[in-house]
Amino acid sequence: MANDDIQNLLRTAIQAAQGGNKAIARHILDQVIDQDPDNEMAWLWKASVAETTTERRDCLQRVVTINPDNERAARALEQLERVAPAPPPPRERPPSAATPRLGALEIEQAMPVHRTRDELSVDLEREALLAAIERRRRQRMPSLVVLIGVLAVAMIVVGLVLLWDYIATHKDGATPTPIPEAPAAAIPTVGTQAPAFVTPTPVGGVLITIPAMETLPGTWTPTATWTLSPLPAASATPVPLEDYTLLVSGKRDDEPEWLLYTMSAAGDAEERIPLQLAPAGDEAGGLTLIQAYDAAYSPDGQQIVFTGRVSQVQVQDAATVTVEFEELFIAPAAGGQIQRLTTLEADNAKGAFWSPDGEQIVFASDVDGDFDIYLVSVNGGQPWAITFNNADDRQPAWSPDGLTIAFASDQGGPGFLEVWSMTADSANLKQLTDDANNSYAPAWSPDGYYIAFVSDRRVDTDLYVMNADGTGERLLTLSDDRFEERDPAWSPDGSWIAFSSNRGGALFDLYLIRPDGSDLQQVTVDRGENRYVTWMP
């Protein structure tokens, strides 16, 4: 088969894998490997669509054999070995002409527990004694049944006699002698009826109330157990949508580039945020702001951080050229003069997110070639990386308690994003999602119990919610027409999730939905593109 034909087959297999058709992808990749056994890319993609851990491990080992410098495959293989170590190879028997027949003494010596003949005799006598006791117990069973029956009949007769005496006494008009009450201390405490309780339920599930138990001993104390908080629900007095303020990145018909806007969660009162660079030669360094997007509020709502795409005139090799790059900027929430936060001059600097204490900002940048997660002080200075790999790490989100950062990464398999978490010191790395295609854009609920994210595991990208530990995934939106959801963000009280979607037309509009998947509402209509929504605290 010609090399062009192999490449065409490989591209077809990759498209099938990206579309979630793993069986078709495996079949085509097998054809490619049959024609080109050392095709590194084919083995790598076969690892991503493998059905079993063993098959994936074999594919990754093949990749490393073909190219020992493939760090991503080596890293994935190392992680796979930590999660599920390869089974040890079967122990080989030493070669021999014939297997000797073991005698009785050899068999006894080969037994894992050595016992003498006296001990064996004692065991046999013990077993015989137990068998005799069991036979006697069974022989006594009929007598015991008869005795219980006799006692039951006697109790019935006594009850009938007492009943007859009671009837006769009242018939003659006599007043029965009251039975003296026993002292309270003489009455055994039975306990009170246990209250009904609610079982823990997965995200978006149904609460099931279990009926109360009848009685429990008074000394019984239930063991305290941790129960996952239920999904945030609308408060008794819900906040009107008009009272929420949304910050969005918009591209309007009368503006050629992305800019920042505020509006109410009802979609009205839209205002553009005015942003001004410092004078040329000062802090801005001769920059020209082209676009502003992907913004986030500070914890106190007084400032915003955003991605600014800028141009700058530079001298390179004795020639004057205009270059474009992205940096992070900080500005007052109402707009005004902006402050340059980073000086990376990278192609991309995105996903800025404030730490809960307002001291640091986490973001993603490809300044070193691939996307990594960085931290930078709000006062500026040199950012430092907290992910160190050749994978694509992006879209970080800080947990409300400040302990954990969730982010999207393909370090589990090249080209396929999943949601991961780690601490700010790069420790406690954990993969939270593991499904077909991509899962990304994590967003923490205000109480820290849940994470919303989007995934194209069902071909089109839908909105999901899961527990913060990665369990209890629940689909919130479902579209059969390949509509796409993006950029989830929780309201401050946890009663809404805002997101972008093109389900209403060719462009992305803003939508709201309850965390249980109910009450879907469209916020913007025919107002250009609307992305990267965030709520004012």
Cα dist. 69→59, 73, 392, 411 in Å? 15, 9, 18, 16
Lowest mean pLDDT among 185-189, 381-385, 386-390, 434-438: 185-189
Q: Which residue has the higher pLDDT, 26 or 130?
A: 26
Residue 295 has pLDDT above 80, yes or no: yes
326: in domain: yes
Are the beta carbons of 356 and 378 closer than 8 angstroms? no
d(CA 405, CA 445): 13
Spacing of C-alpha 440 from chain mean position: 10
Residue 382 has pLDDT above 60, yes or no: yes
Residues facing 497 on adjacent strands: 490, 513
91: in domain: no
Token pair of 150 as six digits: 């006799």
Are the beta carbons of 46 and 59 closer than 8 angstroms? yes
> So what's the pLDDT on residue 189?
37
Cα dist. 417→393, 420, 431, 454, 464 in Å? 9, 9, 11, 11, 15
Cα pseudo-dihedral 21, 26, 27, 33, rounded to 10: 150
Residue 480 has pLDDT above 90, yes or no: no
Quote the percentage of the chain above a pLDDT of 90.
48
382: in domain: yes
Tell if the pTM clears 0.85, that is, is over it: no
Tell me the CATH number at 41.
1.25.40.10
d(CA 273, CA 331): 10
Residue 204 has pLDDT above 70, yes or no: no
* pLDDT, mean of residues 445-464: 95
Are the beta carbons of 430 and 404 closer than 8 angstroms? no
How many residues are present in the chain?
Answer: 537
Looking up tokens 């004078």 gives 279
Contacts of residue 437, Cβ cutoff 8 Å, sequence gap at least 6? 18, 19, 20, 416, 455, 456, 457, 459
Cβ atoms within 10 Å of 6's Cβ, excluding its own: 17
How many structural domains comprise the chain? 2
Residue 494 has pLDDT above 70, yes or no: yes
135: in domain: no
Spatial strand order in the sheet of 393-398: 393-398, 405-409, 418-422, 430-431
* 239-269 pLDDT per residue, tens: 899 999 999 999 998 888 999 999 999 999 9
d(CA 234, CA 512): 13
* pLDDT, mean of residues 196-211: 35
The last residue of one of the domains, among 67, 83, 99, is: 83
Band (415; pLDDT cuts 50, 70, 90): confident
> So what's the pLDDT on residue 7?
79
322: in domain: yes
Spacing of C-alpha 455 from chain mean position: 12
Are the beta carbons of 450 and 468 closer than 8 angstroms? yes
The mean pLDDT of the chain is: 79
> So what's the pLDDT on residue 408?
98
Spatial strand order in the sheet of 339-340: 287-297, 303-316, 319-332, 339-340
d(CA 37, CA 173): 107
Q: Which residue has the higher pLDDT, 414 or 432?
A: 432
Band (156; pLDDT cuts 50, 70, 90): confident
> So what's the pLDDT on residue 173?
47
Q: Which residue has the higher pLDDT, 179 or 505?
A: 505
The last residue of one of the domains, among 83, 103, 120, is: 83
The last residue of one of the domains, among 26, 52, 83, is: 83
Band (235; pLDDT cuts 50, 70, 90): very low
129: in domain: no
336: in domain: yes
Cβ atoms within 10 Å of 401's Cβ, excluding its own: 10
254: in domain: yes
b/e 97-130 (16+ beta carbons within 10 angstroms → b): eeeeeeeeeeeeeeeeeeeeeeeeeeeeeeeeee
Question: Cα angle vertex 134, ends 131, 138, to 5°?
Answer: 140
Q: Which domain holds residue 529?
A: 241-535
Paired sense of beta strands 209-210 and 360-365, if any:
unpaired
* pLDDT, mean of residues 314-331: 92
Residue 392 has pLDDT above 80, yes or no: yes
d(CA 515, CA 476): 8
